[in-house]
Amino acid sequence: MYEDKTLVCKDCGAEFTFTAGEQEFYAEKGFVNEPKRCKACRDAKRGSRSGGEVEYFTAVCDSCGGEARVKFQPREGRPVYCSECFAKMRGEA
């Protein structure tokens, strides 16, 4: 149903492939616009938005009691999970 498309990055002008699989993913998520940037420019833009450095916070995992390093400030009454427990909860492990 979908075929690979060659698109041109609006930032660097390089050609990149918008694969059939990516197009299917966009359709499943309801996205209507094609990507405008290549992966390298998307990653660079994403990194510049956050200032380049990400602050991590340490908390105790609510499932196993181990150390959990997260990118958000843990709040009282909200569970925090380590990477392994979070993946298990989502059925990814």
Let me know whether 45 and 63 are in one domain: no
Structural contact between residues 56 and 80, judged by C-beta atoms closer than 8 angstroms: no
pTM of whole model > 0.85? no
Let me know whether 37 and 13 are in one domain: yes
Average pLDDT of the chain is: 88
Let me know whether 9 and 43 are in one domain: yes
Portion of the chain with pLDDT greater than 90, in percent: 60
d(CA 11, CA 23): 21
Q: Which residue has the tokens 């996205």?
A: 31
Which range of residues forms the domain containing residue 36? Answer: 5-49
Let me know whether 76 and 43 are in one domain: no
How many domains does the chain fold into?
Answer: 2
Q: What is the pLDDT of residues 44-82, one digit of tens each?
A: 887 766 555 677 899 999 999 999 999 888 998 899 999
d(CA 31, CA 18): 14
d(CA 89, CA 53): 28
**Residue 18, φ and ψ in degrees, nearest 5:** -100, 95
